[in-house]
A and B are shown apart, each in its own frame.
Chain A
């Protein structure tokens, strides 16, 4: 079974600063994906960034990057140059290939961006 743990219920950052959200996971599978999803208030969940477990290089998407530590089963999200629009719930999730390919989510981190 897969599990995903986010130990930071809330984080805050000043506009234009950098913030890192933490996530650890556990899986017995060798072929899996990890994700960060963003859920703004009263809006739908959108994918921020994806990491394939077989890739050693950390994924980046503009101001968003991850630090994937496979041996430690750690997957953190770094948001650079934070903007007011980054304020949202952020969920870490895992997915294995084959079968249902359902997403397994952590409990989320609420990010506040202060002007």
Chain B
């Protein structure tokens, strides 16, 4: 396993278009996270899945955003009717769920850089 992968690495789109990003986590990881990183800022949490269940969504995730993780494997993040403010790096991370007394590192993918014109 080569780690977390994301596709595409770069996406340029026009305002109003829909875009979809894909994340493939490390195969045995049951948790998958999406973060957004804008220029000059640290990553901000958007949502996470444990297996196929989406358990938490940030208030940053407007109703134009939807994420899925069918079968608990890869995940997709879709943005509908993109706006210029959506321009950012979208990062995916995966981990095992913590057990009592155990720590499990979140491993990050390379990100998808979205530019909305």
- B-contacting residues of A (Cβ < 8 Å)? 4, 6, 33, 43-47, 50, 52, 91, 93, 97-108
Contacts and interface: CB of A to CB of B under 8 A. Distances in A.
Contact of B108 (A6, A44, A102): A44
Contact of B42 (A44, A100, A101, A107): A107
Contacts of A44: 3-4, 108-111
A46 B45 contact: no
A10 to B, nearest CB: 11
B111 A106 contact: no
B72 interface: no
Contacts of A106: 42
Interface in B44-90: 44-45, 48, 55-56
Interface residues of B, number: 26
A45 B108 contact: yes
Contacts of B43: 45, 91, 103, 105
B10 to A, nearest CB: 10
Interface of B: 3-4, 31, 33, 35, 40-45, 48, 55-56, 91, 93, 95, 97-98, 103, 105-106, 108-111
Contacts of A98: 98
Contacts of A103: 33, 35, 43, 45, 93, 106
A104 B35 CA distance: 10
Given A6-B42, A100-B56, A104-B45, 7 more contacts: A44-B110, A52-B103, A91-B42, A101-B95, A103-B35, A103-B45, A106-B42
